[in-house]
Structure 1
């Protein structure tokens, strides 16, 4: 016991020290934890030698990590995702796994006879890292963009796919239709048990202890381990049980409270899991490094095939098809979990596990850089893709209700970039000044915006507003009023000041309305040639002040009724 406490102490100290280094160098913290584990483990300095300690640390971390992943899976979002995300996610998962199986069998990996290296690698390479993707997209303010939503939708479907694989994994040694059906029956029984208990038993219990933080925490942990033990009794696994326990609580009224209470404990044990995983990574030889590079190259190539292709065929445009493929081009931390379950079951060799871990490290570093630089990467790739014969939405002519509007007559009012503010503006014009719609043109590269506005008969040019050629081609030189409503934090390849200078160089007489994120930008925008600069937070503040006055006067209910009535009449492009 004292040995275990000492080992955990070393794990936390080294994870913290290397985690600080990762923070300063803007690298994923998971990499720091893996390196910390390798440094103090049997293949490094050898300060942690007990295999029992490593196994206990790893299993506890794994259980908590899967429980939290389950808590963050929103099944309602999957249902509401729409056909684009569901089809793209399905093709990426099934196509990626099948391609992986064929590829790894072709290069000599085992499949059958007690060895399932090819299968585990195929599944591992089909999954992408939620931790890395969400962190980088959040920092880039891209979670709510179309490529961001597609990426997140695919990640959720990947988690569901992993649950199904974990249901079958214990029976791989005797896999046939009956065994598969039995595995799914067991998994169904586990899900049904968890769902019934979480719906009818947990709400009154958690309702009684809602004001007791320590009991909320203990209740969540008890639930996690209870479902884990039920899974073990059903010949599944504690890890799968903890995942199901989290999923069953994801729509629970107290899910946010439970997540907040468990997060700190989760972070502690997830750190231990990745440190323990790092301890199992041996010093690589040339064959392990070679296999890791093959795995990494296959993962990137398979994402381009299985993510870009279906999105492109569903007419999402080259840009919105490429960005999710770039975002998803790495191996998931969940993949490492699956690999570890395979090692524990004796299904794959330690060399294969080591290669997968090294591939994870390589892709985590490279994909972080690629996602951060995804916009310039896509800009360089688009002309080359077009030269191969691939057509973007600006080249689509008379497909259904979509038209090529790039050569249409210039409009008096042009909106550069179309996001939520522009969507609200257009709805207001439809309600109050519908005749003005025929005088408005929009330039944007969101395929949803392009299709929806085209169907409504509004002129829209599919193009990148940061390119001067796009602005010239769209007839900016003849516009009388040009509106830039997207803040700098959401613009790609430009900012409002740069756009104002571009527009002013093309059109010296038009009135230009721009948007400022911060007050210091206002003067710069006027100096660049803007005629009026909006500062959204000022208008928001005035609305809030008005509501404070309404609340003091007892009129808040009336104001809500007014806004509810207005919202009911709106037909926004981006709701």
Structure 2
């Protein structure tokens, strides 16, 4: 075994071992793993312990990781789903990056950053600060069960469109130093040629190949990786970055029925190589100067504030304060894609930026990732504070616009739904189809929904069902809704989904404002359901045990006969259940 091989194995061993240790620490602190990998490179590199002094020893392996990373990102971009996302997501995504880029140019110019020959710092910083982190956002929203909410879907759609903007940036990057428009246009043309060629082959050639190898699952992965490196090589051949070719390869396979299988199997391979890529990037980070630290701090503040640019767009679509502000809060960090773009700029020959720009991008990614973690975890509190500020500036929310029509001293509806999610939708559907149409219509007139999802409100009004825009986490919402004469109040959302409140707190608020009402709460856990019964709930809905039609029948019957009998039977039934995971 020769010396270069020894050095390579030694460097990989040190990098992976140290990255694993620091990743555990980062995971415990609920921080992105990428941040841990970057810190690993700093700790073991020339700035720190000097265990690995030559980034070149793992450079090739790290670039493979980058290619695989962009291939997986491409696989996750569903072009068909993006096309059907609707005007709200498409327009917001299309405008967010250009607006933030333009604001970035003005901001960084104001603090003294300039473009000079060989260092296009102003352009790179403005571009890198316009992208947000899919990795950070999706993980945090998934943990909060908010990916499928309206703000969550808008956020995810904007992130996907940001990836498309990143493709454009990668296409322009090789000819950025040439001030003439013709080479730049030619670069875009080559990028378009690669996209069209890749999509054409994926439509007319690859289906036959994948059908031929589908019966051997391991060949599906090998074929997908071969396609990835083929397009990466083709991109390099026509003067584009290999990483862009890998991204387009992933996008071209994203609509294939095999893409989930490929992603599941390629992720493990990718994770190993990507770890080395970000550790290798950390090895290149020098001790930052005071100026770099100040610019990184200023850039972090800019990123958080600049994401508010999506608020006017969403508000213009009539989404209200909450659905307009939450996506802005979710997007308030720098993307891992930004690090990729900056590092590719440094690797260009000749280099388009110096190492200080990459350091600024990495430091901003680190700062905004940490801050964003806490902002997203407390997003509803942050949103309420910003909403109050907007109201002080006389920017009306949806509840203000509807109050003149809907706010009365005492409402006539006797059945009130607090919040409206999937379970409530299914229960309402059962009410709509129960009995003859005249009876069903008469019962629906008795229903009032209090929720803050403008899409839900539009559909409910279309069905002639009364609704009030409001946040049920606020006790004042119930107090001012005029529901003190309600006969039945329903919370069909479990504590895992509720934000800013819980079922027990709702029960106390209901008892204070609607003393005569019967109350249905929801829970995923038998022990918690029994606790709710002890606290005074008349019925507890457990989604895994009760169907929507069953609940609709219980609620209708309870309004007429009371809940005493069904309550007693349910408590007895739950007490006798001895589940492993109750």
State TM-score, norm by structure 1.
0.90
Determine the structure 1 residue equivalent to 2:546.
539
Q: Deviations over 1:115-151 (max 9, x none)?
A: 3111111111110011110111100000000110010
Superposed CA deviations along residues 449-501 of structure 1, whole A, max 9, x for unmatched, are 22332344322111111212110211221111111111111111111121112
* Whole-angstrom distance in 2 between the partners of 1:404 and 1:248: 50
* Equivalent of residue 399 in structure 2, options 378, 394, 397: 394
Select the residue among 470, 474, 491 that pairs with 1:463: 470
Q: Give SS of 1:126's match.
A: coil
Indicate how the Cα distance of structure 1 residues 427 and 136 shifts in structure 2: closer, same or farther if over 3 A, else same: same
Which residue is 2:106 aligned to? Answer: 102
1:37-186 correspondence to structure 2 within 5 Å: 37-111=41-115, 113-186=117-190
Equivalent residue, structure 1, for 2:315: 312
Once the two structures are TM-superposed, the CA of residue 54 in structure 1 deviates from its matched residue by 4.3
**1:541 to partner: Cα distance:** 12
Residue 512 of structure 1: SS of its match in structure 2? Answer: strand
Q: Could you give the per-residue CA deviations for residues 360-389 of structure 1, whole angstroms, max 9, x where no partner exists?
A: 111111111111111222233332331221
Deviates more, 1:196-205 or 1:518-527: 196-205
2:26 to 22, 26, 31: 22
Give the Cα–Cα distance (whole angstroms) in 2 for the partners of residues 384 and 527 of structure 1: 40
Q: Number of aligned pairs?
A: 538
3-state SS of 1:477 partner: coil
Instruction: Look up the SS of the partner of 1:489 in the other structure.
Output: coil
How far residue 529 of structure 1 moved from its aligned partner, in angstroms, is: 2.2
**1:359 is aligned to 2:358:** no
Structure-1 separation of matches of 2:360 and 2:72:
27
Q: Secondary structure at the match of 1:282?
A: coil
In 2, are the aligned partners of 1:501 and 1:529 still within 8 Å (CA)?
Answer: no
Shifted more, 371-380 versus 412-421: the winner is 371-380
Q: 1:32 aligns with which of 26, 29, 36?
A: 36
RMSD value, Cα:
1.8
Question: Which region of structure 1 is more displaced relative to structure 2, 197-206 or 385-394?
Answer: 197-206
Task: Give the SS at the match of 1:479.
Answer: coil
Alpha-carbon displacement from aligned partner over 1:329-349 (angstroms, at most 9, x marks no partner): 000000000001111121112
Deviations 1:51-104 (A, max 9, x none): 422432331221111011011111122111111111211221110111112222
The answer to whether the aligner puts 1:372 opposite 2:373 as a matched pair is no
Q: Secondary structure at the match of 2:177?
A: helix
- 481, 486, 492: which is aligned to 1:485? 492
Aligned pairs for 1:202-351 (under 5 A) are 202-304=206-308, 306-345=309-348, 346-351=351-356
Is the 1:317–1:392 contact (alpha carbons within 8 Å) kept by the matching residues of 2?
A: yes
* 2-structure distance, mates of 1:41, 1:436: 70
Q: Distance in 1 between matches of 2:287 and 2:113?
A: 21
What CA distance in whole angstroms lies between the structure 2 residues aligned with 1:112 and 1:179? 20
- Corresponding residue SS for 1:396: helix
Describe the shift of the 1:180–1:404 C-alpha distance in structure 2 as closer, same or farther (beyond 3 A).
farther
Measure, in 2, the Cα distance between the counterparts of 1:443 and 1:94: 37
Which SS does the other structure have where 2:176 is aligned? helix
Name the counterpart of 2:524.
517
Answer yes or no: is the 8 Å Cα contact 1:54–1:279 preserved in 2.
no
Name the residue aligned to 2:461: 454
Cα shift at 1:205:
2.0
Q: Distance in 2 between matches of 1:445 and 1:288?
A: 43
- What is the DSSP-based 3-state SS (H/G/I as helix, E as strand, rest coil) of the residue aligned with 1:309? helix
- Secondary structure class of the residue paired with 1:539: coil
Whole-angstrom distance in 2 between the partners of 1:300 and 1:171 = 30
1:561 corresponds in structure 2 to: none
Change (3 A) 1:540 1:29: farther
What corresponds to 1:552 in structure 2? none
SS in 2 for 1:443: strand
Q: Over residues 303-360 of structure 1, what are the superposed CA-to-partner deviations in whole Å (9 max), with x where a residue is unaligned?
A: 11x1222112222111111111111000000000000111112111211211111111
Unaligned runs of 5+ in 1: 544-575
Q: Establish whether residue 13 from structure 1 lines up as the match of residue 14 from structure 2.
A: no
Are the aligned partners of 2:413 and 2:448 in contact in 1 as well (CA < 8 Å)? yes
Matched, 1:422 2:424: yes
Using structure 2 for the length normalisation, give the TM-score. 0.89
- Residue 354 to residue 434, structure 1, CA distance change in 2 (3 Å): same
Query: Matched residues in 2 for 1:425 and 1:129: separation?
Result: 37
1:175 positional shift: 4.0
Matched residue, 2:576: none
Q: SS at the partner of 1:442?
A: strand
CA contact (8 A) 2:74 2:254 kept: yes
Distance in 2 (CA, whole Å) between partners of 1:252 and 1:51 is 37
What is the CA–CA distance in structure 2 between the aligned matches of 1:106 and 1:505, rounded to whole Å? 55
2: CA distance, partners of 1:366 / 1:69: 24
Q: Does 1:431 align with 2:436?
A: no
2:119 counterpart SS class:
coil
Shift of 1:214: 3.2
CA apart distance, 1:427: 2.8
Distance 1:228 1:38 in 2: 29
* Aligned mates of 2:217, 2:46 — CA distance in 1: 39
SS in 1 for 2:546: helix
Greater Cα offset, 510-519 or 180-189: 180-189
Which residue in 1 is equivalent to 2:569?
Answer: none
Structure 2: give runs of 5+ residues left out of the alignment: 435-439, 551-582
